[in-house]
A and B are shown apart, each in its own frame.
Chain A
Amino acid sequence: AQTVTQSQPEMSVQEAETVTLSCTYDTSESDYYLFWYKQPPSRQMILVIRQEAYKQQNATENRFSVNFQKAAKSFSLKISDSQLGDAAMYFCAYRSAPGATNKLIFGTGTLLAVQP
């Protein structure tokens, strides 16, 4: 069975600074997808960034980028130029590629605080 681990329950960053959130996963599959989702307080979860395992290039979405290390089964999220609106719970998630499924396996989350 696949597992996702986020070892940082809480993180804090100063506004305009850079922060990296860690995520490791365990799987025996060779093809899969990885995601970072953001859940602001009392608001719905939204997708931040996604990575397809077969792509070697790290995904980037504006101020958000990932460091995908397939051999190490590591998928960290870097937030550059942090903004107050980035404060939220961040979840790393795994989805199998083979077969038809939208089942996500989530990590326990990292609560990010942004200090003004």
Chain B
Amino acid sequence: KAGVTQTPRYLIKTRGQQVTLSCSPISGHRSVSWYQQTPGQGLQFLFEYFSETQRNKGNFPGRFSGRQFSNSRSEMNVSTLELGDSALYLCASSLDSGPGELFFGEGSRLTVL
């Protein structure tokens, strides 16, 4: 069974640009969550999608957005990039909420110059 796939794995952007990251969940998983991981702030929840609907959102500015498609694949977009957006962006999928396991991808490492 294929795991959570995130693309691209690494990317470099300059300030002011925008970026789109993709996440393909495990087959059958309908929930996709996104997290930002930085040395300074640690792991912070960005948002969660379930069956194409955003059902939870973290405390991030509106420059961060996401969506989920009918096949459960999800994308997140960051517009007007800032240096502080440099981070590892992790995607996690699960069947649904509850005590079930979240399966994480390897992440997309974004560097903003």
Give the interface of A toward B (CB within 8 A).
33, 37, 43-47, 50, 52, 91, 97, 99-109
Contacts and interface: CB of A to CB of B under 8 A. Distances in A.
A47 B101 contact: yes
Interface string B25-57: 000000101010000001111001010000110
B8 interface: no
The secondary-structure label for the interface of chain A is: loop
B106 interface: yes
Contacts of B96: 100
Given A33-B99, A44-B107, A109-B43, 16 more contacts: A43-B106, A100-B50, A101-B55, A102-B31, A102-B33, A102-B48, A102-B56, A102-B97, A103-B45, A103-B56, A104-B33, A104-B43, A104-B92, A106-B43, A108-B42, A109-B42
B101 A91 contact: no
A91 B58 contact: no
B98 to A, nearest CB: 8
The secondary-structure label for the interface of chain B is: strand
Contacts of A47: 101-102
29 contacts: A33-B98, A33-B99, A37-B104, A44-B4, A44-B105, A44-B106, A45-B104, A46-B104, A47-B101, A50-B99, A52-B99, A97-B98, A97-B99, A99-B97, A100-B55, A101-B48, A101-B55, A101-B56, A102-B31, A102-B48, A102-B56, A102-B92, A103-B45, A103-B58, A104-B35, A104-B92, A106-B43, A106-B44, A107-B42
B72 interface: no
Contacts of B23: none
